[in-house]
Structure 1
Amino acid sequence: MKINILKKIGLMIFVGMGYLAHVHAASPLEGYWKSVDDRTGEDLSIIEVKKMPDGTYGGVILHRFAPPGGAVLTHCTKCPEPYKNKPLVGMQILSGFVEDPSKPNSFIHGKLLEPKSGKIFEGKGVLISDGRRFRLRGYVGVSILGRTHVWLKVNDPKAEINKK
C-alpha cells in the first residue's frame, strides 16, 4: 500500500515538473498584448502573439477597439493583397520576428502590417518593464525612418475588452 502511494506521489511530482518546464520555456513575448495609438494614446487592438512552427513569432488581432466617437475599423480596406478588404479580427499583423541572439529580450527581422494605413513595415522590438511592455519599431529601409509603438501586456484579454 505504501509503495503504491509513493509511486503516485512520484508520478505527480514528475508530471508537475514537466508542466513547470513547459511554462518556463515559453517566451515572454508570447501572450496577449494591447496596442495603443502612439499619437492619441487610444487603445487600438488586442493581439495574441505566438511562437510559430518555424520558430518565428507572429501576432493575430483578437479584438479591435472603437475610437472615441467613431466606428471600429473592421476590414483592411487600404491593405495590399492578400489582406485587402479582409476582416481585421483574425488577421496576422505581426510575422517573422526572431530573437536577437546578441541582445536579450530583443526581436528582429519581423514584418508589421499597420491596418489603418495598410502599409507593411520591417520591424524590430524589445521587451521592457520586466516584459510588461513591448517597444515595437516599424520602418521602411532603415530603422531611423520609422515609428515606435509600445504594446502593453494583458493577462486577461476578455476583461480588457469588457472595460470599454
Structure 2
Amino acid sequence: MSKKLFCAAALLLAAAAHAQTTAVGVWKTIDDETGKPKSLVRISESNGELRGKIERLFRDASEDQNPKCVSCEGALKDQPILGMTIITGMKKDGEGYGGGQILDPASGKVYKSKMSLSDGGKKLDVRGYVGVPMFGRTQTWVRVE
C-alpha cells in the first residue's frame, strides 16, 4: 500500500514540476500604473501553439463588469473582453516563447510578443513590441494555478 502511495505522490510532484516549466496555466495580470490585479488570463496549448484567453476581469463595482472592446478592429470590434483571446501564435523559442501576438483590449492594438518564465515558473514576463523587441514594454504576470 505504501508503495502505491509513494508512486502516486511522485507522479503528482512530477506533474507539478512540469507545470512550472511551461507557460500553460492561469496568470494574474497586473496594471502597470496602479499595481493592482487587472485580469486572469488562461494560457493553453494546442498543436505546439500557446493561446491566452481572458477569464476574469478585476473591476470596481462602479465600472462595467462586462466591457466591450470598442477600440478593437475587425471581428473583435465591440466584442466582450471577458472570454476574448488576447494571445495567439506563441510557440516555444529556446528558453521562452515567441512568434506570437498579443492584443491590448484597452487600446485595441495588436503587438508582436514574446514571453519567458522567471522565478522558477511563478512569473511570466510578457513583452509586447512593434518591429523589434527593443521597442516595447514588458509586464510581469503572476501564476495563479
TM-score, normalised relative to structure 2: 0.83
Residue 39 of structure 1, CA deviation: 2.0
Evaluate the alpha carbon distance shift between residue 86 and residue 33 of structure 1 in structure 2; reply closer, same or farther with a 3 A threshold. same
Q: Is the 8 A contact 1:136 1:149 kept in 2?
A: yes
Q: Is the 8 A contact 2:39 2:56 kept in 1?
A: yes
Q: Is the 8 A contact 1:36 1:151 kept in 2?
A: yes
Letter in 1 for 2:107: S
Q: For residues 84-123 of structure 1, what are the structure 2 equivalents within 5 Å?
A: 84-101=77-94, 104=95, 106-123=96-113
Evaluate the alpha carbon distance shift between residue 68 and residue 123 of structure 1 in structure 2; reply closer, same or farther with a 3 A threshold. farther
Q: Distance in 2 between matches of 1:122 and 1:67?
A: 30
Q: For residues 6-85 of structure 1, what are the structure 2 equivalents within 5 Å?
A: 23=15, 28-52=22-46, 54-67=47-60, 70-72=63-65, 74-85=67-78
| Aligned counterpart, 2:131 | 141
Cα displacement string for residues 74-129 of structure 1 (whole angstroms, at most 9, x for unaligned residues): 2111001111111112111011111113xx2x111110000101100000111001
1:150 and 2:143 matched:
no
Letter in 1 for 2:53: V
Q: Is the 8 A contact 2:43 2:51 kept in 1?
A: yes
Residue 143 of structure 1, CA deviation: 1.2
Evaluate the alpha carbon distance shift between residue 96 and residue 50 of structure 1 in structure 2; reply closer, same or farther with a 3 A threshold. same
Letter in 2 for 1:76: C
| Aligned counterpart, 1:124 | 114
Count how many residue pairs are aligned between Structure 1 and Structure 2.
142
Q: Is the 8 A contact 2:66 2:82 kept in 1?
A: no
Cα displacement string for residues 25-52 of structure 1 (whole angstroms, at most 9, x for unaligned residues): 6552111001111122121111110112
Structure ID, larger Rg: 1
Q: 1 or 2, which has the higher strand percentage? A: 2
% identity of equivalent residues:
32
Cα displacement string for residues 42-78 of structure 1 (whole angstroms, at most 9, x for unaligned residues): 21111110112x3110111111111586444621110
Letter in 2 for 1:81: G
